[in-house]
Amino acid sequence: MYSFKLTIMNFRRNLKAYGLYLMAMVFSVATYYNFTSMRYNPQFLEVKNISMYIESTSMTASILMILFLVFFIMYSSNFFLNYRKKEIGLYGLMGVDNYKVAFIFALEGLLLGIMSLLIGLFLGLLFSKLFLMLLARAALLNMRIDFFISKKAILETIIAYSIILFISFLKGYLEIIRTNLIDLMNTLRKAEELPKVNYLKGFASLVTIGIAYYIAVNYGSYGFAVALFWSVILVILGTYWLFGSFMPMLVRLLVNRKKIQYRGTNIISISNIAFRIKDNYRTFAAVAVLITVCITSFGTVSSLKYFLAENHRIEVPYTISFISSEQEEIERVEEIIADSNRSIELRQQADFLIVPQSGVVVVNSSTFESLLTALNVRDRGKILARAGQLEDGVIYVERPGVLMDLVERKEVEVGDKVYEIKLQAKVPLFGNGLPYTAIVVNDREYEALRLKYEEKQFNGIILDNPEGIRDLTFRLAEVLTEESGLYTYFMAGAMMYDLVGIVYFLGAFLFLVFVFATGSIIYFKILTESFRDRAKFEILKKIGTTEQEIHQSVSKQVGLFFALPLVAGIIHSLVAISVLSDLMNYSLIRPVIISIVVFIIAYGLFYIFTRRKFVDVVVMKG
């Protein structure tokens, strides 16, 4: 009974210190509940086209949330243990049994977890309708969302978090029992020394990261799976060595540069970093890798959103398309369109050769130029410049519907002849009305191939309004033969776009969760350092250092702690996104910049919060 009362007193007294931890836990519980409840929501299950996507993405997001929570709780519990070690040691000196002390502090962590679970579940239930409304809008679903409480989702959330909290309780209990009393009392008085400089590992880190980048960019030569595996392994290893060996080299150079060392408060901030980099390089490397994952994953889902708009244009460049060279049939189509009170904005006809059993169609460079100009394709100037230079090669236009092409092609076979590929392009051409790879040859070569293969005529029409052409589609299907391959905007559907909307929405939520994880890890680590630096800053105040100079020193020290992994993470993610951009054959500059800016803003808020807390600790305000 006495132990429980003491636990409650400690819990109330330290609740402020647990603020960020509590906030992250509550947010993660609420998010986990909403991810899980999606699988049981009857309104989403009724939409058969997306119910499978909802279930799979919900399960994936839930698993990622659990992994995040296990990592986050275990890491933050280490901080709180270090934060309270001296207090724990005092209990031991007062004669309190070590097992009882361990039970008190482990129970305090368990109470914090239970509080997070209850508040998180309440907020998850409260905002569940808003969460699902946003999801429906992101997935372009025209449906009404009713308030729904899922008992199964509540039960799953309670069971999952109870298991994690029990493991956390047991871990905290065992750690305190195994810790020596002398170590507890002297935990903040460890002797500090400058890290040893390993020049071989320092330069090897840059070489290792460079090799990883080279393998990633040249994935076509090694195979995508092999390139992905080795580039990830080498980036992690190189980042570990970068902060463990290369950074001490740079810091040692700064320490030896007297002009820099004695400028303002640099002597304080640089010295602190020089002594602490030995203990913190693993955290720097972990945070840099997490930042890479955050920016790359959010950049990827953001890229899908932007890419899909372009991909839709590739798959459905025309409102109506069909294959026919019969003038009467073409005129009948235009009459039906006119009867529907719609106007034709673009009418395009193009001849092509169909190559049996090759899965390709052939067009000449003149037709290719005409189509790209009529459809106002972006960057068509560069593509058409290459088309005009075709002598003995071809342009390879990827068929519609291919999201990523993992194969780097150098030649293509058309019938019994092999052509060298001069350019691989992904542009609007015929769309899904003619869902084949298109091979662009020069006009002379086209005339030669026309003697061997059947020529057909493609007809593409763009209307003033592509929406609501269901009835028009059925009327056209009555007059066109099955061989005409009628394809309309209505037939395109939106199943893939629903899926990407769901992935984008859930990816954005997971991005916020992992930003919390990244910011919290570096926050807890720096705050641990602040307690070790308190005595140093006390001495500095006694010898005349002003509070403003202390603020400047803390800003530089905390700023470098945040900036170093951020720079490494951004560089890693830019390389990863460039590979993705190459796979999609689509420029991802805009979504990547947005992803980096969003992350920097969120990360900057953590910096401001951490810096303020650091100052409060070293000037004895908290």
Query: Model confidence over 445-476: pLDDT tens digits?
Result: 888 888 888 899 999 888 887 777 888 888 88
What is the pLDDT confidence band of residue 328, given thresholds at 50, 70 and 90?
A: confident
**For helices 199-217 and 224-241, what crossing angle results, to 10°?**
160
Cα atoms in the 13 Å half-sphere on the side-chain side of 386: 15
| In the predicted structure, residue 264 carries a pLDDT above the cut 60 | no
| In the predicted structure, residue 622 carries a pLDDT above the cut 50 | no
| In the predicted structure, residue 615 carries a pLDDT above the cut 70 | yes
Of residues 153 and 11, more confidence is placed in 153
Give the Å distances, CA to CA, from 65 to 72, 115, 157, 243, 276.
10, 18, 11, 28, 32
Of residues 330 and 550, more confidence is placed in 330
Least confident of 43-47, 234-238, 593-597: 43-47
What is the pLDDT confidence band of residue 50, given thresholds at 50, 70 and 90?
A: low
| In the predicted structure, residue 306 carries a pLDDT above the cut 80 | no
Q: CA 415 from chain center: how many Å?
A: 43
| In the predicted structure, residue 83 carries a pLDDT above the cut 70 | no
**For helices 247-256 and 199-217, what crossing angle results, to 10°?**
130
Length of the chain: 622
What per-residue confidence (pLDDT) applies to 211? Answer: 92
Q: Convert the pLDDT of each residue in 351-379 to its tens digit.
A: 998 888 777 888 988 888 888 888 887 76
What is the pLDDT confidence band of residue 181, given thresholds at 50, 70 and 90?
A: low
The whole-angstrom separation of Cα 349 and Cα 335 is 17
Mean pLDDT across 46-59: 62
DSSP β-bridge partners for residue 361: 354, 438
DSSP state string for 517-535 = HHHHHHHHHHHHHHHHHHH
The whole-angstrom separation of Cα 19 and Cα 516 is 13
DSSP state string for 235-287 = HHHHHHHIIIIIHHHHHHHHHH-HHHHTSTTHHHHHHHHHHHHHHHHHHHHHH
| In the predicted structure, residue 515 carries a pLDDT above the cut 70 | yes
What is the pLDDT confidence band of residue 179, given thresholds at 50, 70 and 90?
A: low
What is the pLDDT confidence band of residue 192, given thresholds at 50, 70 and 90?
A: low
Q: What is the mean pLDDT of the chain?
A: 76
The whole-angstrom separation of Cα 51 and Cα 131 is 17
The domain limits of the chain are: 1-187, 318-490
What per-residue confidence (pLDDT) applies to 208? Answer: 92
What is the pLDDT confidence band of residue 392, given thresholds at 50, 70 and 90?
A: confident
Q: Which residues contact 506 (CB under 8 A, 6 or more apart)?
A: 35, 57, 58, 61, 135
Least confident of 291-295, 330-334, 617-621: 617-621
Of residues 261 and 253, more confidence is placed in 253
| In the predicted structure, residue 513 carries a pLDDT above the cut 60 | yes
**Sign (positive or negative) of CA dihedral 541, 546, 548, 552:** negative
What per-residue confidence (pLDDT) applies to 195? Answer: 57
Mean pLDDT across 515-528: 77
Of residues 433 and 179, more confidence is placed in 433
Give the Å distances, CA to CA, from 257 to 244, 267, 552, 564.
21, 11, 20, 20
Of residues 405 and 152, more confidence is placed in 152
Q: Helix, strand, coil shares of the chain as percentages rounded to 5?
A: 70, 10, 20
What is the pLDDT confidence band of residue 288, given thresholds at 50, 70 and 90?
A: confident
Q: Convert the pLDDT of each residue in 424-443 to its tens digit.
A: 888 888 888 888 888 888 88
Q: Which residues contact 500 (CB under 8 A, 6 or more apart)?
A: 304, 305, 308
Mean pLDDT across 510-514: 75
The whole-angstrom separation of Cα 202 and Cα 220 is 30
Kindly state the percentage of the chain with pLDDT values over 90: 2
| In the predicted structure, residue 500 carries a pLDDT above the cut 50 | yes
Least confident of 111-125, 171-185, 211-225, 403-417: 171-185
Token pair belonging to 465? 């309004």
Runs of H (alpha helix) within 316-440: 327-339, 365-374, 380-387
pTM above 0.85, yes or no: no
What per-residue confidence (pLDDT) applies to 501? Answer: 63
What per-residue confidence (pLDDT) applies to 552? Answer: 76
| In the predicted structure, residue 193 carries a pLDDT above the cut 80 | no
| In the predicted structure, residue 412 carries a pLDDT above the cut 70 | yes
What per-residue confidence (pLDDT) applies to 1? Answer: 47
What is the pLDDT confidence band of residue 527, given thresholds at 50, 70 and 90?
A: confident
The whole-angstrom separation of Cα 241 and Cα 360 is 49
